Structure 1
Amino acid sequence: MTPENINHPFLHLKVRSLLLRLLLISIVLGIGLGVIQATSGLKFNPQVLNLILYIFVFGLLCLWTLADFKRLGVHLSYVVGRLPNNHRWLPMVGLVILLILFSMGSYLVLFYLLSLLAPSFIEAILRDVANNPTPQRNASLLFNLLGAIVLVVVAPITEEFLFRGIILQRWATKWGIRAGLLGSSLLFGIGHANAVGLSMVGMILGVLYIKTRSLIVPIACHALNNSFVVAMELFSNGSKTLSAVNRLEQLRYSLWLGILFIVLSLPVLVRFLSQNWPRKNAPVPYFINSFQKES
């Protein structure tokens, strides 16, 4: 029995259905919370509310997808895979550090260039980024704990399950493994403020999933990446109190730092991708895992 002879469940899992469900869940929860606030007079902390909404939105989306698994006969164990024996984790730590450097560098350079063309637009984005519900040194213990749980536990599990476990394999089944890898990585990047940096993160995590056939590896790397982000936020000097204009000026002064980060990280990341880029006709991890199980 070969992977090609196994039923293709990812032909029936539509990405557009995922996006529509994401929109529907967000709208329903948003309306529900609005009604609760209007009728009860309760006032929720916006940042805490965003964290709770993230948990419910992505948690419900994953549960809805798991219901599809049961209906279509998709095995979650084949999607997740097994952790490779004697996996080398230390190089993964170095890879994550390089991804953080590239993400920071691409953020600084790209936003600097965009600020020359549309400063008001970039000021608005910087304001949104500064208001993201991430742990902060001067925030309450409860908020920081909730933020850390969302970033280090909930986000890596749900996002890797959806982007690498579902979207990558769906598009790879439809268009080929390379197109699936590129498309899912770009969608992952577009879903974040730093589209260029997070697209690279998505590509590296996708390659790790294809190479190891284990979703545990990209989940662990994603969690480690976010752990570094949480640590940097907690030990930062409180720059979130700066105005959008001051943040824009700070961004412009940081251009050369961004270039340095890119120069240090990009060659190694490109080398890793070139060495581990999947061959054109490579099967998706689900089919290899199912084939090994059947064998």
Structure 2
Amino acid sequence: MQDLSTIRFDRLKVRHLLLAFGIINVAIAILLISSGIDVNNKLFTPLSYLSSFLATCVWICYRCQQVGIDLLQVIGKPDRQVRWWQIIGLAVAGVIFSLASFIVFLGLISYLFPQFTEQVLVSITSRNSLTPSADDTPLDRLLVFLMLVVVAPLAEELIFRGVILHRWAQKWSLPTSVIVTSLVFGFLHINPIGISMFGLVLALLYLKTKTLWVPIAAHAINNFIVFCMTLQTPSATETTSLSLQSLQSNLWAGLVMMGISLFFLGRFIRRNFPVKQLASSK
């Protein structure tokens, strides 16, 4: 496997990446709106996401070439010795933990802020949601599938584990970078607790295998399970009514699922969390 410590990210700044991503997002939004696609159109979110992240990946490739970073070395090659059953198990445990933590967190919040909880549920199941709903057209589902299962794993792993993890590891330390990138990754999603935990697992998978293809695969499996779970999502009104009545009564089930999934995720994290820099990672 390649020595990841030899990759220098000093000239590739995270703030430049964020600035480029922001400019690309604004430009894509303007292009979509000027082409006649309304912001409230179901196609707007997946088209905007796909275009923005693919364009950002192109910018990363161009910038890495400019500063002399070998992206092929960053990405690495798949190792035949990778235990794919373990990768699938971690992806499944990540889905369970994310779902359970969301149920527990939202259930607890519903005691104090029931109206806020209802608004969250409506926003999740609205026509602008990133997940498909039962009345979507085949084109809607195809675009969401490409967004969740193909582009999101490739682009987000390249950005967070391939670039930001390395940059912050050289700026601070590897353990700090692993934690901070996982938290940033989580808080950019609607379920920060569950996604931060999964982001931590993805970072450790990358450091353990020294290839981005493994966290990309785990990410894709995780998102594919979520995509399949949401194919038969009912309407926003039905989901809100059902959830508000059942969230609190299902808190115990969420806690049990959290405990079971956390046992497997926690064991993997304890065994693989880095205590040294990339050169000493295994």
TM-score by length of 1: 0.86
Match of 2:71 in 1: 76
Counterpart of 2:43 (choices 44, 48, 62) is 48
Task: State yes or no: 1:120 paired with 2:130.
Answer: no
Match of 1:197 in 2: 194
Distance 1:16 1:284 in 2: 28
The answer on whether the counterparts of 1:173 and 1:284 sit within 8 Å (CA) in structure 2 is no
1:31-110 counterparts in 2 under 5 A? 31-37=30-36, 46-110=41-105
The answer on whether the counterparts of 1:160 and 1:215 sit within 8 Å (CA) in structure 2 is yes
Match of 1:163 in 2: 160
Could you tell me which amino acid in structure 1 is paired with residue 87 of structure 2? M
Could you tell me which amino acid in structure 2 is paired with residue 16 of structure 1? R
Task: State yes or no: 1:231 paired with 2:228.
Answer: yes
Task: State yes or no: 1:153 paired with 2:182.
Answer: no
The CA deviation at 1:5 is 8.9
Distance 1:64 1:215 in 2: 18
The answer on whether the counterparts of 1:177 and 1:284 sit within 8 Å (CA) in structure 2 is no
Number of residue pairs matched by the alignment = 279
Question: Equivalent pairs: percent with the same residue?
Answer: 36
Match of 2:28 in 1: 29
Q: More helix by proportion, 1 or 2?
A: 1
**Structure 1 unaligned runs (5+)?**
289-295
TM-score by length of 2: 0.90
Distance 1:243 1:279 in 2: 44
Could you tell me which amino acid in structure 2 is paired with residue 198 of structure 1? I
Could you tell me which amino acid in structure 1 is paired with residue 48 of structure 2? L
1:136–1:243 distance in 2 versus 1, CA, 3 Å: closer
Match of 1:242 in 2: 238
**Structural RMSD (CA):** 2.4
Match of 1:279 in 2: 275
1:116–1:283 distance in 2 versus 1, CA, 3 Å: farther
Could you tell me which amino acid in structure 1 is paired with residue 32 of structure 2? L
Distance 1:76 1:268 in 2: 32
1:237–1:22 distance in 2 versus 1, CA, 3 Å: closer
Of 243-252 and 43-52, deviating more is 243-252
The CA deviation at 1:260 is 1.5
The answer on whether the counterparts of 1:151 and 1:227 sit within 8 Å (CA) in structure 2 is yes
SS at match of 1:94: helix
**Structure 2 unaligned runs (5+)?**
none
The CA deviation at 1:115 is 2.5
The CA deviation at 1:47 is 2.1
The answer on whether the counterparts of 1:106 and 1:196 sit within 8 Å (CA) in structure 2 is yes
1:105–1:44 distance in 2 versus 1, CA, 3 Å: closer
Match of 1:270 in 2: 266
Match of 1:291 in 2: none
Task: State yes or no: 1:180 paired with 2:174.
Answer: no
CA deviation map 1:130-165 (0-9, x unaligned): 231323343222211221111111110001000100
Distance 1:3 1:85 in 2: 18
The CA deviation at 1:259 is 0.8
The answer on whether the counterparts of 1:82 and 1:214 sit within 8 Å (CA) in structure 2 is yes
1:200–1:5 distance in 2 versus 1, CA, 3 Å: closer
1:168–1:205 distance in 2 versus 1, CA, 3 Å: same
